[in-house]
Amino acid sequence: MNTSHKETTTTVPKDSKVATTILRDSLGTVSFSIPTRFDTSFTWTNHSDCGKPCDHEEYRFQPKTLPVFKESGFYYDIPDISINQFTIIHSGYFPFHNGDTSKNFARHEHFKGRLLSKLNNDNLISDTIEKIYDRYFSIVCMSGFDTIKQKHSATLAALTTIRGNEIEFHYDIKTKDTINEKEFFDNAAQFIRTIRISNGI
């Protein structure tokens, strides 16, 4: 794992626009840049069998030319569709704590392990802890190939905390075409570095 403790210099990505999302239950407000082609957005609650403590609030941005799919349930099967999207995820149940708890190596390792087991990605490309603006982010890059659906995939996932509560940011792509992984990860990282978070009540 590579760790970076200095603040990252942010460059506004090309062909991008600024978006702002108010998180539910006064958790906070997030502003960020996303690709201009992500012209559709929607939110939903991903319900799980164990009730609200396992539910997740999700906020997604994607091109309107791609099918809309909302994950729901403890187990779900993503249909055989192409994906190019940015998703914000946080629990539907959370306590509030004072102070910054985002720089946590044990949390980083758990996050990385959970992603690798859940997303069925074949390759861990990189993982790091990076300071972006005023908080630390765990950042994990993965890629894979679905031999059944014959699709390439790549994911850059980042995790930080708001008053002790985890919030995730995912850039995902899945396509039959070969992915230029370096370009995808470089671009996704550039967008992640535009994230600014203000605490809620």
Q: Higher-confidence residue: 127 or 162? A: 127
Say what the pLDDT of residue 47 is.
80
pLDDT tens per residue, range 10-25: 677 889 999 999 998 7
Supply the range of the domain harboring residue 171: 2-199
Looking at residue 56, its pLDDT comes to 86
Residue 52 in this model has a pLDDT that exceeds 70? no
Whether 6 shows a pLDDT value over 50: the answer reads no
> How confident is the model at residue 99, as a pLDDT?
56
Which has the minimum average pLDDT: 25-34, 58-67, 171-180? 25-34
Q: Total structural domains in the chain? A: 1
pLDDT value, residue 4: 47
Higher-confidence residue of 4 and 146: namely: 146
Share of the chain above pLDDT 90, in %: 58
Instruction: Kindly report the average pLDDT of the chain as a whole number.
Output: 86
Closest CA to 194 of 142, 153, 137: 137
pLDDT tens-place string over residues 103-140: 788 999 999 998 988 755 578 999 999 999 989 999 99
Indicate if the pLDDT at residue 5 is higher than 60: no
| Whole-angstrom distance, CA of residue 94 vs CA of residue 34 | 27
Task: Report the CATH number that the domain containing residue 148 is assigned in CATH.
Answer: 3.40.1000.10
What pLDDT, on a 0 to 100 scale, did the predictor assign at position 197? 93
Asked if residue 13 lies in contact with residue 194, where contact means CB atoms within 8 angstroms, the answer is: yes
pLDDT category of residue 60 using cuts at 50, 70 and 90: very high
The pairing of beta strand 16-22 with beta strand 56-62: unpaired
